[in-house]
Structure 1
Amino acid sequence: MQVTNQLGDQHSVPTEKGQGPNYVLPFILITSLFFLWGMAHNLDSILIPHLKKACQLNNRQSTLIDTSVFLAYFLMAIPAGMIIKKVGYKNSIIIGLLVFATGAFLFVPAANTQAYELFLVALFIIGCGLTILETSANPYAAILGPPESSSKRLNLAASFNGLAAMVAPIVGSMFILSGKSYTPEQMAAMPEAERLSYLAGEAAAVKMPYIVLGTILVLVAILFYFMHLPSMKPAHTEVEVKPGFFSVLKHRHLSWAVVAQFFYVGAQVCVTSFFIRMAEQGAGMDEITAAYYLGLYGVLFMAGRFIGTFFLKYVKDYVLLSIYAALSTILCAVAIYGTGIYVIYALGAIGFFMSIMFPTIFALGLVGLKNNTETGSSWLVMAIVGGAILPYGMGTLIDMNHDDIQSGYLIPLVCFLIILYFGMFGHKVKKAA
């Protein structure tokens, strides 16, 4: 049986006698991956303020946590695509899980030595594993079923990424954050033994959560190894000359999708990376309370995914993307110029409206690429490097404005304007001459 999906690809799908393909269990397994990499990304929002304390960093240095993870996406996107072509989706997923687990376990020696550089290495390795997983799972979820529902299917799977956005801050507040914060002046006045003990305790707090995460990843990899998944390798029934890696960008809508994805990921990471600091500075919260509000942000993000998936039954995906981008721009302005608890409400609402952006941009960018879907997917995953670059720029802007967190949110505001352009104009597919 051959299935041609919305992306234009034909794929061989195994069928049982007299029956169509059953995708339920494979889709559930793939969906679990969205939750796991969501945990990794959303724990970074806890790590940034936490390691800023534990390793005595400024804002710009703390954003190297994001840089380490998302730089891996850029560097590993092409190798990840090659791995998929070489060993298939299932084995690529297993490799990605094991690489992800390796990075998680490296948090133990990093915490023991209190070496920020080793934390960054561990996070880079985690990012490599995530790249392989996302390059495999996103297109696999898109083609695992009827072609006309690929965008809705991606959003449904990505809803569990939103569930992780709620769970990770709660886990972080319970097991990582101590609630103890000291000013530079207080740290300088503290006896050396007490100061060293405090810093060691802060660093050690990350060990248990990441040991548990690494163990779960290994167990899931074992489950994938023994589980049968439908083969979704392209069926070469048509003769088609594939363009080179850069030539595929002649598809105008893909080029714009790559740009939009770069700025979307940068915006999302900017919003969450400084959420706790924003709550502390703008609303006068302590870090534990701020972390719970970050969890509520995750609830809105998850709700946005499910509600957005429902809306996509009745509203064109590019229309909904445009509406959400416009509302996010307005809310970002509120976060910049507002005061008190309203700033946090605005950031939470941004989480709701950002929820459908990544999978929708991904699906729109791959429309009509046919046998070039894997190459297009690699480009869209490489665009995640926006999460490495833009938060660093935001941290620099905040430091330049004397630790004024609100001023930094100008960067995600500009990002949402670019996404709005993609939703209104850049997504349009022009047929090749």
Structure 2
Amino acid sequence: MQSAVKSAAPQLDAGERSHGSALVIVTILFFMWGLLTSLNDVLIPHLKAIYTLTYLQAMLVQFCFFGAYFLVSIPAGALIRRIGYQKGAVTGLLIAAAGCALFYPASQSGYALFLFAFFVLASGITILQVAANPYVTVLGAARTASSRLTLTQAFNSLGTAVGPFVGGMLILSAGALAADQLAALPLAEQAAYKAREVATVQGPYLALAAALAVLALAFAAARLPRIVHDSGAGQADAPGKGALAHRHLVWGAAAIFLYVGGEVSIGSFLVSFLGEGSVAAMPAATAAKYVSLYWLGAMIGRFIGVFVMRHVSPGKTLAFNACLAIALVVTAMAASGPLAMWAILAVGLCNSIMFPTIFSMALHGLGKYTSQGSGILCMAIVGGALVPFAQGLLADTLGLKISFVVPALCYGFILLFGLKFSRLHQSTVNP
């Protein structure tokens, strides 16, 4: 693997006493990228129906979106090291705005341009992730980094909860035709119907592009505390190995890979799962609103987690949530009707503290390699591109329900990570 950018641990300028306003501004960024990411869960079944795709082909949306994290994270780290955290965030917002604007020509072109638009949008969000996550960890005491990052992630979850609900109303049609109904229409009527359906993305994504551009201007004008880098003196880092010399970072990167993959897989297949006759037989427009409950559970859990992890080991909390997530996914696979539906939706509550807890545990004690470690962890978000692919392949070959074994296995590894490094908050971990 190519080495990520080497930089010192970010620290706030000595004179800054209050970071509340900075935390509020950064939290807005978490909200926006949550909303943009969860809209994929609405667009996947929408584009699948319009372009008559298999599950595997539909997962190209997540492959292009989360593949950007792998390709852009290291360059993003270099960019932020060069121009600073604030300018880096502004750059990410403008790139994300450009990605949203590309949805308009994509709606008049085809699936390939949609995939490119997803990649551009995610590239902007990746830059925001690399800039904002380390920023939050230093806006306060080190011992409360997990709870502080969990708090900002709660607003990220608010965005993910709002996204499918609004997207379902604005993009998905209540009168959408089933595949057999569409096939029964004359070819000219099929083409006209598909053109109308795909055009529903134009207005919402142009509005998002404008909102991101305005937010970029506001963020550029804001007075934020400047983050500088110390020399890393006194850090016990193994020479030549950098951040990867720390075993907990390597394990953390694998956990981020599988967590994002599992969470994205479930979200990507929720509309289809709720549409199954043995579960709820919901039309896509109705199911999209229930997807919001999946993400809303994550938001509620994160607010709870802010307080729980001040008293309970983050690692033990992570392991408990992973264990419960496995039980709920297995229940959804084995059961039917309302039990299966509510079991899979409740997994969102278990997801709540996973990303911020894994992220802060993995960065613990990295010293001057903190931003390098952040870049590696953001690269690991590529799990959101590859794990849904694996589930899509199983769904096409063995059936939709059985394919949920993939996220269940992902949570199994997270359980092991939480137990293995459950004492990370108490002392610095040595390689």
Do the structures match in fold with TM over 0.5?
yes
Larger CA deviation: 175-184 vs 240-249 = 240-249
Match of 2:285 among 288, 291, 305: 288
User: Could you tell me whether the CA contact under 8 Å between 2:27 and 2:152 is conserved in 1?
Assistant: yes
Aligned length: 419
1:77-88 residue pairs with structure 2 within 5 A?
A: 77-88=73-84
1:330-409 residue pairs with structure 2 within 5 A?
A: 330-401=327-398, 404-409=399-404
Instruction: Give the C-alpha shift of residue 238 in structure 1.
Output: 2.6
1:142-153 residue pairs with structure 2 within 5 A?
A: 142-153=137-148
Counterpart check, 1:168 vs 2:131: no
Which amino acid is 2:48 matched to?
A: K
Which amino acid is 1:99 matched to?
A: I
Question: Distance between the aligned counterparts of 1:55 and 1:426, measured in 2?
Answer: 45
**Distance change in 2, residues 1:245/1:81 (3 Å):** farther
User: Could you tell me whether the CA contact under 8 Å between 1:256 and 1:427 is conserved in 2?
Assistant: no
Which amino acid is 2:205 matched to?
A: Y
Counterpart check, 1:270 vs 2:254: no
Instruction: Give the C-alpha shift of residue 183 in structure 1.
Output: 4.0
Question: Distance between the aligned counterparts of 1:47 and 1:244, measured in 2?
Answer: 46
User: Could you tell me whether the CA contact under 8 Å between 1:159 and 1:306 is conserved in 2?
Assistant: yes
Q: Give the match for residue 414 of structure 1.
A: 409
Secondary structure of 1:405's match? coil
Secondary structure of 2:11's match? strand
Which amino acid is 2:337 matched to?
A: G
Question: Distance between the aligned counterparts of 1:355 and 1:99, measured in 2?
Answer: 28
1:114-153 residue pairs with structure 2 within 5 A?
A: 115-153=110-148
Q: Give the match for residue 46 of structure 2.
A: 50
Instruction: Give the C-alpha shift of residue 274 in structure 1.
Output: 0.4
Instruction: Give the C-alpha shift of residue 250 in structure 1.
Output: 1.8
**Distance change in 2, residues 1:203/1:219 (3 Å):** same
Counterpart check, 1:76 vs 2:72: yes
Instruction: Give the C-alpha shift of residue 233 in structure 1.
Output: 1.7
Question: Distance between the aligned counterparts of 2:225 and 2:125, measured in 1?
Answer: 22
User: Could you tell me whether the CA contact under 8 Å between 1:14 and 1:231 is conserved in 2?
Assistant: no
User: Could you tell me whether the CA contact under 8 Å between 2:11 and 2:227 is conserved in 1?
Assistant: yes
Question: Distance between the aligned counterparts of 1:279 and 1:12, measured in 2?
Answer: 47
User: Could you tell me whether the CA contact under 8 Å between 1:257 and 1:426 is conserved in 2?
Assistant: no
Instruction: Give the C-alpha shift of residue 40 in structure 1.
Output: 1.0
Q: Give the match for residue 173 of structure 2.
A: 178
Question: Distance between the aligned counterparts of 1:210 and 1:86, measured in 2?
Answer: 31
User: Could you tell me whether the CA contact under 8 Å between 1:13 and 1:21 is conserved in 2?
Assistant: no
Question: Distance between the aligned counterparts of 1:311 and 1:116, measured in 2?
Answer: 44
**Distance change in 2, residues 1:12/1:288 (3 Å):** closer
User: Could you tell me whether the CA contact under 8 Å between 1:253 and 1:427 is conserved in 2?
Assistant: no
Instruction: Give the C-alpha shift of residue 112 in structure 1.
Output: 1.6
Larger CA deviation: 96-105 vs 181-190 = 181-190
User: Could you tell me whether the CA contact under 8 Å between 2:35 and 2:161 is conserved in 1?
Assistant: no
Instruction: Give the C-alpha shift of residue 239 in structure 1.
Output: 6.6
**Distance change in 2, residues 1:311/1:286 (3 Å):** same
TM-score relative to the length of structure 1: 0.93
Question: Distance between the aligned counterparts of 1:431 and 1:150, measured in 2?
Answer: 16
What is the identity percentage for the equivalent residue pairs of Structure 1 and Structure 2?
Answer: 38
1:39-85 deviations in whole A, cap 9, x for unaligned? 11100000100111122211111011000110000000100110111
User: Could you tell me whether the CA contact under 8 Å between 2:144 and 2:310 is conserved in 1?
Assistant: no
Which amino acid is 1:359 matched to?
A: P
**Distance change in 2, residues 1:425/1:303 (3 Å):** same
Instruction: Give the C-alpha shift of residue 267 in structure 1.
Output: 0.3
Instruction: Give the C-alpha shift of residue 431 in structure 1.
Output: 4.9
- Which segments of 5 or more consecutive residues in structure 2 lack a partner in the other structure? 1-7
1:97-246 residue pairs with structure 2 within 5 A?
A: 97-113=93-109, 115-236=110-231, 238=233
Q: Give the match for residue 37 of structure 1.
A: 33
Question: Distance between the aligned counterparts of 1:166 and 1:241, measured in 2?
Answer: 42
Question: Distance between the aligned counterparts of 1:80 and 1:245, measured in 2?
Answer: 22
User: Could you tell me whether the CA contact under 8 Å between 1:150 and 1:363 is conserved in 2?
Assistant: yes
Q: Give the match for residue 60 of structure 1.
A: 56
Q: Give the match for residue 4 of structure 1.
A: none
Which amino acid is 2:46 matched to?
A: H
Larger CA deviation: 245-254 vs 375-384 = 245-254
Q: Give the match for residue 26 of structure 1.
A: 22
Question: Distance between the aligned counterparts of 2:226 and 2:175, measured in 1?
Answer: 51
Q: Give the match for residue 4 of structure 2.
A: none
User: Could you tell me whether the CA contact under 8 Å between 2:237 and 2:245 is conserved in 1?
Assistant: no
Counterpart check, 1:317 vs 2:314: yes
Question: Distance between the aligned counterparts of 1:391 and 1:95, measured in 2?
Answer: 29
User: Could you tell me whether the CA contact under 8 Å between 1:365 and 1:427 is conserved in 2?
Assistant: no
- Which segments of 5 or more consecutive residues in structure 1 lack a partner in the other structure? 1-7
Q: Give the match for residue 89 of structure 2.
A: 93
Question: Distance between the aligned counterparts of 2:405 and 2:423, measured in 1?
Answer: 28
Larger CA deviation: 269-278 vs 279-288 = 279-288
Question: Distance between the aligned counterparts of 2:372 and 2:239, measured in 1?
Answer: 9
Question: Distance between the aligned counterparts of 1:241 and 1:193, measured in 2?
Answer: 69
